[in-house]
Amino acid sequence: MRIDTNTVVTVKYELRENDQFGELMEVMNEKYPFEFLFGNGNLLPAFERNIHGLRSGDSFKFILPVEEAYGGPREDNIVNVPRKAFEVYGEIPQDLLQINQQVTITDDQGDNHTGKILEFDVNTVRVDFNHFMAGKVLYFSGVVLNVREATVDEIINKHHIPSV
C-alpha cells in the first residue's frame, strides 16, 4: 500500500539541522516511531509531499527550507509578559524564571502557548513564542515502517488511534 490520504503511516527518521551532517534535533526509531494519519492537515505540507506515494520499506531523504518548514522567527511572537502571570498561589516558583527556560502560558481564551524565556526584570518577562524550529532548514532521513488504511474512527477524529 502506498502513502496517500487517509492512510496511517509509521516511520522512523532522524531530523538534522541544515543537512546530513547538521546538529541532530530529533530521532524517531523502531522503539518510538512516528505514527500519523496522512493528509488531514496536521503535518507540514512539504513533509507530506516528500513522502506521498512511498511504501513500507522505502527510504527517504529530503531538505525542507525555512519557508516550507516553520518559517522564519517573527518579532511579533516575542512578547513581554507581566511577571505576575508566572505566579502560582501568589509566588513565582524559585527555578521558573531562567533564561532559555521553556514555559507554557494560558491566554485569555484558555489556549496554551509554549515559549522560551529570553530575559526578565522585576516587572516583565520577555518570552519568545516562535516555534523552536522557526528559522531552521530541516533535513529528514528515514524509512517507512508501515502503511495501512485508516479506520473510520481515525478519519472522523482526524488522527490515528494507537494500537494497544
Q: Please tell me the predicted confidence (pLDDT) of residue 97.
A: 92
CATH dotted code for 75-128: 2.40.10.330
Per-residue tens of pLDDT for the chain, all 164 residues: 999 999 999 999 999 999 999 999 999 999 999 999 999 989 999 999 999 999 999 999 999 999 999 999 999 999 999 999 888 888 888 888 999 999 998 888 989 999 999 999 999 999 999 999 999 999 999 999 999 999 999 998 888 887 65
Q: Please tell me the predicted confidence (pLDDT) of residue 164.
A: 55
Cα 157 from Cα 142, distance rounded (Å) = 27
Domain ranges across the chain: 7-70+135-157, 75-128
Task: Give the predicted TM-score (pTM) of the model.
Answer: 0.82
Q: Is the dihedral of CA 7, 60, 47, 28 positive or negative?
A: positive
* Cβ 147 vs Cβ 4: under 8 Å: no
CATH architecture classification, 7-70+135-157: Roll (3.10)
What one-character DSSP code corresponds to residue 15?
A: E
Q: How many residues does the chain have?
A: 164
Residue 103 neighbours by CB under 8 Å, 6+ apart: 86, 96, 114, 115, 116, 117, 127
Write out the three cell numbers for 132: 523552536
**Which of these, 58, 54, 135, 122, lies nearest to 84 by C-alpha position?**
122
